[in-house]
Structure formats: C-alpha cells, structure tokens
Amino acid sequence: MKFPALRIENDVVRGLIMAGIFAVAGVLIGVLALPPAPRSIDPNVPGPDFTLLGQRIPMSEDADDRALQLARRYANENIVVKIPGGGQHLISRSTLGAQVQRVRLAELVSQTRDPASPLRKHVLAQPATSTTIALPVPVSLSSERAIATLLELKDHVDRPAIDARLDLQTRKLLPEQDGIQLDVHGTLATLQHAMHNGENEVEAVVSKVEPRLRSEQLGNVTFDSVLGYFETNYARGAKHELRTFNLRLAASRLDGHVILPGETFDFNEVVGPRDEAHGYKIAPVIAEGELVDGIGGGTCQISGTLHAAAYFAGLEVVARRPHTRPSSYIKMGLDAAVSYPTITLKLKNNFDFPVVVHETVKNGVVRAEVLGPKRELTVTYVRKILKVQAYQQVERNDSKLPMGVRKLAQRGVPGFRVQKYRILREGAFAVREKSIDVYPPTTQIVRVGVGDMPRDSVEVHDDPHPEYTADEYLITMQGPGIRTRGVDQDVPGGPTVERRTPGKTGKPGWTESEGFPTYRSESKEPDKKKK
C-alpha cells in the first residue's frame, strides 16, 4: 500500500526537475542572445581628437570662441555650385541665409570635453573608432532667402533645348542640343547637406530637357521652293540700332526651324524669353495702346512678318492677336502681336510634308519665307474696313516744358473694325476663310508746359508719326497661279499683286475731314531767324 504513494512523489519530483532544467536553459539562451557589453569608459584615458571644418577643437576654455569663429567664417564664405554638363557659379553663403546655430555649437564643443557625455560614449562604444572625429557643422540656411537666390541662379542656368534645324545659308543640318532646368528645391536640399558636412562645393540638381526635333527626323526634308513669303521695312541708322539688334536676334532664333506635318509652331516657345538675360535690348514697344520703351522692342515685327508669310503659304493660323493699334510696318489684318509668355503666335502645318521657316533681317528689310516642296497654291487676302471709331485727345501738364508750350507726345490713331477673307486655291479647288479684326482707337496725347524755364530753352519735338491712312478695300494675291501682265512670274513663291481702293480712309487729311481732333505743330520762329 506504500508503493503507489511513493510513485506519485517520484512523478512530482521528476516534474520539478524537468521544469528547472528548461528554466535554466531559457536563461542561458537569453544571456547568449544579449549584445556584447560596451567597452568600459575610463575617464582617465584621453578620448579621440574632435575637429570642426578640418580644425582641431582644443580642450581649453577658449574652445567655444574658436569654434564659433570657424563656423562664422564658414557661414560668410562662398560656396561653388557646379552645373552638370559644364560651368559653375560662386555664391556667398550669406545670400543663402546661412546662420550659425550657436546653442547647438556650444553643446557639441561641451560634449567633446565631457568623458561621460553622450557624444564621447557613442564614439567610444563603436567597434572601430578613428582617432579623429569630425563634428557636424551647425550652420543652417534660411529657406526663403536660399530659394530667392536659387531662383536668380535658375535664370542663368536654365537652357532651353534646341531642336535640330537647317542652316539655310550653308545648306547643312545643325544637330539638336539638350536643355537643362535647375531644380531649385533639389539644389536647396543638396546645399543644406553640404553645409552640415562643411563642404565648399556642390553639384546642382538639374533636369534634362529633351529637344522636340532630332537630326534623324530631318533626313528627308525638302525645302527647294518658297510656299509663301512676306516683307516689311524697318528704320535704319544709329537711332534705331537697338531695335534692329532685337530684330536680328529674334529672327535668328527661328530661322531654319522645321515644322513637321500636323505640328503646331509656337512663336514664344521657339524664340524664347525676350529679356536682358537672353540678349535683348531696350527699344519702343506698344503697351496699352501707347509707345513706350521696353525690353525686346521690335520682336512683333518678326512675328507679324512670319504670320503674313505663313498666311500666304496656306498654313493654319491657330492663335494670333492683332495689336492694340495699327502698325506702321505692316497692313492691318496681317500683323501679329507677341509678348512673352502670355501672347503668342501659333501656326499649324496642315500639309503632309515638313515645312521650314526662313527669316532674315538685312538692308532695311525683314523677309520671312515658308519653304517646302513645290506646289501650286494661290492665296488671296481680301480686307475691308467695316467701321471707323474716332480717337480722343487728352492734355497732360509737363513741368519739363516751358509754360504754355505744347508738344504732341503721341499722335492719335482711329479705331478700325476690319473684315478679312483668305481664299486658298489649288487647281479647281478653293477654300474661303472669314475673320474679323478689331483695333481700338489710340488716344492723342498733348503735353502742355507748366515749367518756369525760358520759352526758348527747350527744344520741342512732336511725335514724328504721320496721320494713319489705310485703304478702305484691299486685295493681295500671291502664288505661282497668278498671271498678270507686267509682273515678274519667276519670283520665288510666285508674284505678289495688290489691288487697292483708298476710299475715305486711304487719303491724307481724312481724319480732319471726319472731325477727329487735329493738332497743329507750333513752328519755332527763333529757329528760323537763326538760319
């Protein structure tokens, strides 16, 4: 009767023994899984050398001041921004808003001297520690100032892609060029990282801009014939030198440009910004109906001449805006106002073959041509003045003129509403297009002197523009299909013939006869006596 009780006790003991074995095993496994203990830190053992911007931080009391001097000098020096693909720019860190984080700097220097500091413990706890440790540079950038500086840099760095084009003088194919655009925020992040590491140069972050047209796409372009052309005149001489410069620059941007079948040409995209950074000069422009000085003056003559050439070539005019006043160099209905980046001229190549833009500026003539394979297309332009609106005259006091002296600052131009037709005829087929252009009246401005200087002390020059006249009815035809006696039939693109009916608006003196404000120029008797 005692043996069963003994077996029960033995089972309990065995269970306790097994539980103890598993517990001990678990403890051993846990101990083995723990990371190795860090090396003990002996405060009597000297730590590694700490450097800031390559200079050793001493363990002396003046360490804070020396570190602050180093950081301040770094924050005020220049940094080199390299541009991928070539070129670099030197930028002052102060213009980026670089500032020393003095509290952070003092904390770092303090930790280098304290054997029990988190910095020293972290360094000594590493498996392999260098004898020299470089501290991070506590210099921060002002995002607002840095972005403003980088946006200025972007104006110099950004380069538009240049399409493959044809050099129409040498008849050679010019290869395309990739463009680049500065990534302002990406470059800012790179600069911030460079500041933290105490670097003196960075590589800007840019994105590649692919050209629209590559050389391999132009292997079979034919440009033997002039499909349409137009010419306008420009004033020459030293007085108009800057405007002429702008004309040549804008024309060079689009000369040789190829428009593929079905593609739309955008004047602003091809010619690009008209500003000082892109080489343009200050010359007269039209702003709200008045002639004022502005960057890129004259560009509208390039766009207007091209529009007229494309008009007679039969291209589709997708977007085009007339000026706020008629232009002296081109007839109403054929001009095309442009202003980067808001107002542009768009032309679509609706043919099944590529066409090439050719525009030159020389000897007082701007000539635009649209080139392509030979075809028999005759284009007729019909324009009729539907309505005329009188202009107003205003007088403005001018303290730079003697009391009572009057000067015509701007000659008034009537407003016009014109109806236009374009008739495209090829063989037995003809298409007629109709549109309306509106030119608001231009105010006549007379300046009246209120100055206290002598009357003959100031030389007065009135607006030299003559009274604006326009044929009431105009027909212009161009193309190889024109057969008119006395007209040269061998003109490239075909001859151009005009038929005009002056009507009341095409004869000198018509504005006065219509009762519009008239200005009488004041002759200067003293000048006559001097002669």
Over residues 171-216, the pLDDT tens digits come to 788 899 999 999 999 999 999 999 999 999 999 999 999 998 898 8
* 11 HSE (CA, 13 A, CB side): 6
Q: What is the pLDDT of residue 57?
A: 84
Q: Are 286 and 325 in contact (CB under 8 A)?
A: yes
pLDDT score of 178: 93
Closest CA to 65 of 111, 106, 101, 94: 106
- pLDDT higher than 80, residue 155: yes
Q: What is the pLDDT of residue 265?
A: 97
Phi, psi for residue 238 in degrees, rounded to 5: -60, -35
Query: Distance between CA atoms of 231 and 346, rounded to whole angstroms?
Result: 19
CA distance 322 to 318: 13
Residues near 488 by beta carbon (within 8 Å), at least 6 away in sequence: 495
How far from chain centre, in Å, is Cα 495?
A: 39
Inter-CA distances, 163 with 167, 169, 215, 218, 334, Å: 12, 17, 8, 11, 28
Ranges of H-type helices in 165-287: 184-197, 241-254, 267-271
Quick check: helix, strand or coil at residue 37? coil
Question: Once rounded to an integer, what is the mean pLDDT over residues 325-333?
Answer: 94
Higher pLDDT, 377 or 528: 377
Of 61-70, 316-325, 428-437, 470-479, the least confident: 61-70
Between CA 259 and CA 356 the distance in angstroms is: 6
Q: 447: exposed, middle or buried (C-beta count within 10 Å: 0-12, 13-18, 19+)?
A: buried
Range of weakest confidence among 25-29, 234-238, 412-416, 479-483: 25-29
Summarised one tens digit per residue, pLDDT across range 18-58 is 555 545 445 444 444 444 444 444 445 556 788 889 888 88
- The beta strands (E) that lie in 206-352 are given as 206-209, 225-233, 258-259, 264-266, 282-287, 290-295, 316-319, 346-348
Whole-angstrom distance, CA of residue 188 vs CA of residue 186: 5
The pLDDT of residue 420 is above 50: yes
